[in-house]
């Protein structure tokens, strides 16, 4: 009797599936990971051009007095974008003004927005330009979500940050809110 429970090959029996009423046997065949289409990697020239436009977006944010800008190069570790920009504003209105200015400046450079989330609330806005995304946060919300720590191993792109845009120490702007 023990030999009949082992199956034809003599190995352990496969776990029994719990039948679902009315379910038919699936015709979908699982495919190997190697069969999955890989995201095409950008060439060095495309990556450099994308970085230049992303830096221009960060400069547009600084034109509206954004604080603590960070540009993260996730091209080697991310699958959905090459660069992630994160900036903060000191108020709801400033967050909206920063996002609007980034869109206007990049539109003049021929880059159009693919998607936008969170607009109007003044707490957070995501601007998706495809090869890079920009997060514009109200600063206490940025500290709460701490997106930079999710990409701690990814290299940062060096930006020319004016002294008034850099925070001298963490939580220096709002203290313990």
- The 10 Å CB-count burial string (b at 16+, else e) for 151-162 is beebeebeeeee
Instruction: Tell me which residue has tokens 């029994």.
Output: 16
Distance of alpha carbon 32 from alpha carbon 131, whole angstroms: 28
CATH superfamily, with its number, for domain 44-158: Beta Polymerase, domain 2 (3.30.460.10)
Residue 33: its pLDDT value, please?
43
Residue 124 in contact with residue 175, Cβ under 8 Å?
no
Distance of alpha carbon 27 from alpha carbon 114, whole angstroms: 36
User: Domain ranges in the chain?
Assistant: 44-158
pLDDT per residue over 74-123, tens digit each? 988 878 889 999 999 999 899 999 999 999 999 999 999 999 988 777 79
pTM above 0.75, yes or no: no
| pLDDT above 50: residue 24 | yes
Distance of alpha carbon 102 from alpha carbon 104, whole angstroms: 6
């Amino acid at each position: 009797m023990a030999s009949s429970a082992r199956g034809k090959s003599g190995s352990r029996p496969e776990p029994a599936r719990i039948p679902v009423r009315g379910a038919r046997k699936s015709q979908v065949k699982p495919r190997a990971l190697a069969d999955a289409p890989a995201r095409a990697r950008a060439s060095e020239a495309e990556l450099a051009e994308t970085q230049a436009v992303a830096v221009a977006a960060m400069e547009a944010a600084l034109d509206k007095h954004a604080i603590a800008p960070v540009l993260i190069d996730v091209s080697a570790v991310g699958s959905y974008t090459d660069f992630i920009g994160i900036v903060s504003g000191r108020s709801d209105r400033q967050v909206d003004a920063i996002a609007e200015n980034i869109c206007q400046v990049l539109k003049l450079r021929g880059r159009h927005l693919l998607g936008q989330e969170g607009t109007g609330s003044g707490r957070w806005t995501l601007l998706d330009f495809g090869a890079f995304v920009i997060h514009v946060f109200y600063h206490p919300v940025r500290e709460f979500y701490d997106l930079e720590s999710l990409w701690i191993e990814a290299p940062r792109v060096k930006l020319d940050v004016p002294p008034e845009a850099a925070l001298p120490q963490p939580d220096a702007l709002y203290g313990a809110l």
